[in-house]
Amino acid sequence: MKVTLHIWRQSQPSDRHAQSARDFQRDGRMVRYELDDVSPDMSFLEMLDVLNEHLIKKGEEPVAFDHDCREGICGACGVVINGVAHGPEKGTTTCQLHMRSFRDGAEIYVEPWRAKAFPVVRDLIVDRSAFDRVVQNGAYVSVNTGAPQDANATPVPKADADKAFDAATCIGCGACVAACKNASAMLFVGAKVSHFVHLPQGRVEREERARNLVTAMDEEGFGNCTNQYECEAVCPKEIPVRVIADMNREFLRAKVREE
Amino acid sequence: MSWLSSFWRTSIGGKMTMAVTGLLLFGFVVAHLLGNLQLLQGPDAINEYAKMLHDLGPLLWVARIGLLVVFVVHVVTAVRLSQANKQARPVPYASEATVQATMASRSMVLSGLSLLVFVIYHLLHFTLGVTNPGHFAMKTSGAGGFDVYAMVSNSFANPAIALAYAAFQLVLFLHLSHGIQSFAQTVGIHHKRYTPMIKTLSFLLALVVAGGNALLALSVQVGLVEVAR
């Protein structure tokens, strides 16, 4: 099959502290490529690999994009395809998206996650270390639990375990930020809060965690949730917006109980 | 006070401020509608209601100032949050798409600004009597207060004014249908069974409130209310 690609090319990294959009996007622009040897069985990233081989043969700079496991579990890949993070298939990462999801002759726009907190490193690769800094501020349990316990020594009701697990499936790809009309990270941070607050081990530090995670999120320059739920629609792990309500509730609780 | 201002400055604190002030404003809109529905009962009912409100004296001013404060906080917080949202994405997508966000949720800033313009016009029209001083010529009603019935019925006898008021109710409907359900999510109420109910309720409440207001605006045009001489 044939496709026409419009891909964001940017050779200089975005300046995180840029005041204007022009400084942020640097030399970035959309570039058009025609590709006529695409198999419908290729994954989206394999299609980009084919494009890159053509570019290398022509002596041009290949398109830089992030990827690692290509099994949909690592969270490294991710581009915005025709305006939708990870493309048209629901609950799918970019690497697990296949070209059969597009019609022959399709025009495909490929762009990086667009957010001030995710500056472009090159082409389609963005710097997601903002997520790491948020996680470092409390998305863990720091209480000492001693030697490994027997399994099931701490009983957790099934319903709570399910809620925690729904949130824990987050792979930190950043699609929620990319899809949000406000570039908000509240689905990601909500998942971290919700992941721990439904478990007895996580409840010990719940207030500190909610406060610290939200403070860290705000410092990174993400936007604010306006309950439009575009994040939930594109999340490859289909994390529900319930986790955002969990975070809101936890943050309020922590602030009210603040001494 | 410092706790409140530091809470307000956080992202979630700002959202919750929008939610709580929004709910208070919704409460006012409901009370406003219930009071004004007495227009349909004829001059005596609404004029007596108006006199009762005016006779509250200082209490009326407490309510007015309270309402103004809530309104200003709602608008100021909205400005702060939407500016931050704009800054959070400096470069827009070349290809934009929406998967599941509703039209109402996407137009909150626009519908909110439209409502701000409408509220200012509404106050100039009926509270301060600037735009139609002729309608505002304060006659004394049978109840002994202002003749609100005469003012309102004469205003809505003008098809342009009646249609403008009715049209703004569409905007109010959009704003409320997202706003009410948004309140629940923002304060942390989310439940498998209740959240769908809250969404339906949000739609219905917005429909009833905006529909009721539109009915009043068009009441003279459709012959429900007679113009006072």
* End-to-end CA gap in chain A: 64
Q: Do A83 and B182 touch (CB under 8 A)?
A: no
CB contacts < 8 A, A to B, total 137
Q: Are B126 and B103 in contact (CB under 8 A)?
A: no
Q: Which of B172, B83, B191, B31 shows the shortest CA–CA distance to A224? A: B83
pLDDT at B1 (0 to 100)? 75
Query: Which residues make beta-bridge pairs with A43?
Result: A98
CA distance A139 to chain B (A): 18
Phi first, then psi, for residue A232 (nearest 5°) are -60, -35
| Domain coverage including residue A148 | 129-256
A231: confidence class by pLDDT, cuts 50, 70, 90: very high
pLDDT at A146 (0 to 100)? 76
Q: Do B95 and A179 touch (CB under 8 A)?
A: no
Instruction: Name the DSSP letter for residue A8.
Output: E
Q: Do A82 and B97 touch (CB under 8 A)?
A: yes
Out of B7, B14, B87, whose CB is closest to A116?
B87
Choose the final residue of a domain: A76, A109, A125: A125
Spans of all domains in chain B: 2-88+104-218
Choose the final residue of a domain: A125, A147, A175: A125
- Determine which helix (DSSP H) or strand (DSSP E) holds B114, and give its type and residue range: helix B108-122
| Calpha distance A103→A81 (Å, rounded) | 14
Residues A109 and A156 in one domain: no
Q: Which of A233, A35, A257 shows the shortest CA–CA distance to B100? A: A233
Residues A251 and A189 in one domain: yes
Domain range B2-88+104-218, its CATH number among 3.30.1310.10, 1.20.1300.10, 2.60.120.260, 3.90.1300.10? 1.20.1300.10
Q: Do A251 and B105 touch (CB under 8 A)?
A: no
User: Does B57 contact chain A (CB < 8 Å)?
Assistant: no
pLDDT tops 90 at residue A259: no
pLDDT in tens, A92-131: 999 999 999 999 999 999 999 999 999 999 999 999 999 9
| Calpha distance A147→A250 (Å, rounded) | 30
Can you give the CATH number for the domain in which A61 is found?
3.10.20.30
CB atoms < 10 A from the CB of B88, how many?
24
10-residue mean pLDDT profile of chain B (229 residues): values are 92 98 98 96 92 92 97 98 96 96 97 97 91 74 79 93 97 98 97 96 98 97 87
pLDDT tops 70 at residue A192: yes
Q: Are A124 and A64 in contact (CB under 8 A)?
A: yes
Choose the final residue of a domain: A125, A150, A166: A125
The total number of structural domains that make up chain A: 2
Q: Do A227 and B106 touch (CB under 8 A)?
A: no
Q: Which of A67-71, A139-143, B115-119, B121-125 has the lowest mean pLDDT?
A: A139-143
A238: confidence class by pLDDT, cuts 50, 70, 90: very high
Identify all chain A residues contacting B88, using CB atoms and an 8 Å cutoff.
Answer: 115-117, 182-184, 221-223
Count Cα atoms within 13 angstroms, Cβ side, for B189: 15
Residues A100 and A168 in one domain: no
Would you report the helix, strand and coil content of chain A in percent, each value rounded to 5? 40, 15, 50
Q: Do A249 and B188 touch (CB under 8 A)?
A: yes
Nearest CA in chain A to B89: A115
Instruction: Name the DSSP letter for residue A227.
Output: S
pLDDT at B137 (0 to 100)? 65
pLDDT at A147 (0 to 100)? 84
Interval A41-66 mean pLDDT: 98
pLDDT at B138 (0 to 100)? 61
| Calpha distance B58→A259 (Å, rounded) | 37
User: Does B10 contact chain A (CB < 8 Å)?
Assistant: yes
